[in-house]
Structure 1
Amino acid sequence: MDNRAEILNAALDLFHARGYDAVGVQEIVDRAGVTKPTLYYYFGSKLGLLKSLLESGYKILEDGVLEAAGTNAGLPEVLYRVARVFFDFAATHEKFYLFMLALFYSGRENEAFQTVSPFIERYYRIIVGIFEKAAPQLGNMRGRQRLFAVGFTGILNHHIMTVSYGLSEDEEFEISNETTYEIVRQFLYGIYS
């Protein structure tokens, strides 16, 4: 593994464990086995490191969500596919996903929140687009596409956090296909009623 990747991995481990604000550059370089000038060479600053970390991880999630959202299927199937993307991403990138959510729930003036917010907003806009596209099928939107997007992503995030909570080191994150269908079905029941 090259120095850049070592730094990213060390930063993610430390940020996930203790939070962005609680971790210093010296700690990151010590964990990565490099020097501060090496970190600054690749990322410019701790904030630059955070941006690179978020961009690399988020790109994978966004590509999957875009592909699922572009599916030519009815709303239930599209939502199922989007949910599977979120759950599968959280299973394979659990530390990253939980860290990204933690940043989003931090103080609004915090530089970490301001850095992660545009990434969260990007996938939120994709989800809004799904509901806008489905408006003719649903008939009861009345401008509530944004509310539905918030509700849907909130349910997904809640399930991810709930399943992740309390997992031991040897347990794997998993949300089954059956559970995913049930989550989507219950969500749709709420918006159809």
Structure 2
Amino acid sequence: MKKGMNKKELSRELSTSRLTAAAFELFVVRGYHATSLEAISSKAGLTKGAVYFYFGSKENLILHMFEALEENIVIPLVQAVQEGDGYEDSIIRYIHRGANFGAERPHELLFMIKLAIEFTHQEGPISIGIKTLYDKVYAALEEALNKAQEQGSLSQEIEPRAFASMIVAVHDGMMLEWHLRATEISGPRLVKYVRHMLLHGIKGSGMD
């Protein structure tokens, strides 16, 4: 919460936060199209009209959620890449930061992934918004890979754009698998195997 808020502003901030948190969870569990605004209000413990009052429509709610995704997920992921000491360290930091979000902010991260699957190739504000978020991650990874090639630590035969897409695909797939088999596998163990695969290929040695 921001300092200096009056009572009305604080009430609005609390209500929109509760609605957003409820929307993240329901969109992941039920899907975008199967989740009504009424269900979101009920999940948030607010009146039926609260979500209409604050957002007006499901699309406006999604666009507000994109702002939360950028602040809570995308910017930290980009920072993780930029903080890396070399491209390998950047990739590992990206994977680990995402894994932390998988434990701490699972609904937000999974919402971003699932919405990308559903809307990337459609037209409209939602598809533009989700593509913009992913483009920030792609750009950070490509920058790290380009820099590595300039320094001679990464083969010139590697195409940075395709390699960056592979890294994002591995990360998102890891998160989806973690969610799908949460009761059957160890999330941290899965992350460890993904890290090993990215650094050493698919050979099984050296993972313990």
| TM-score normalised by the chain length of structure 2 | 0.76
Q: Deviation string for 1:139-186 (max 9, x for gaps)?
A: 533571101101111112222222221224xx8743467435413313
- Alignment partners' CA distance in 1, 2:182 and 2:192: 20
- Alignment partners' CA distance in 2, 1:122 and 1:27: 32
Residues 43-192 of structure 1 aligned to structure 2 (within 5 Å): 43-71=55-83, 73-107=85-119, 108-109=121-122, 112-136=126-150, 137-138=152-153, 140-142=155-157, 144-168=159-183, 173-175=187-189, 178-186=192-200
The answer on whether the counterparts of 1:26 and 1:36 sit within 8 Å (CA) in structure 2 is yes
Corresponding residue for residue 16 of structure 2: 4
- Alignment partners' CA distance in 2, 1:178 and 1:37: 45
Q: Deviation string for 1:1-26 (max 9, x for gaps)?
A: 92112211221221111111111112
Identical amino acids, percent of aligned pairs = 19
Greater alpha carbon shift after TM alignment, 24-33 vs 133-142: 133-142
User: How large is the Cα RMSD of the aligned pairs?
Assistant: 2.9
**SS of corresponding position for 1:174:** helix
- Alignment partners' CA distance in 2, 1:101 and 1:121: 13
- Give the superposition deviation at 1:106: 1.1
Change in Cα spacing, 1:72 to 1:81, as seen in structure 2 (3 Å) is closer
- Alignment partners' CA distance in 2, 1:18 and 1:172: 24
The answer on whether the counterparts of 1:91 and 1:174 sit within 8 Å (CA) in structure 2 is no
- Alignment partners' CA distance in 2, 1:80 and 1:35: 44
- Alignment partners' CA distance in 2, 1:160 and 1:142: 29
Structure scoring higher RCO (CA < 8 A, sep ≥ 6) equals 1
Q: Which runs of 5+ in 1 are unaligned?
A: none
| TM-score normalised by the chain length of structure 1 | 0.82
- Alignment partners' CA distance in 2, 1:18 and 1:139: 42
Q: Deviation string for 1:60-80 (max 9, x for gaps)?
A: 222322322222612222221
The answer on whether the counterparts of 1:84 and 1:180 sit within 8 Å (CA) in structure 2 is no
The answer on whether the counterparts of 2:88 and 2:199 sit within 8 Å (CA) in structure 1 is yes
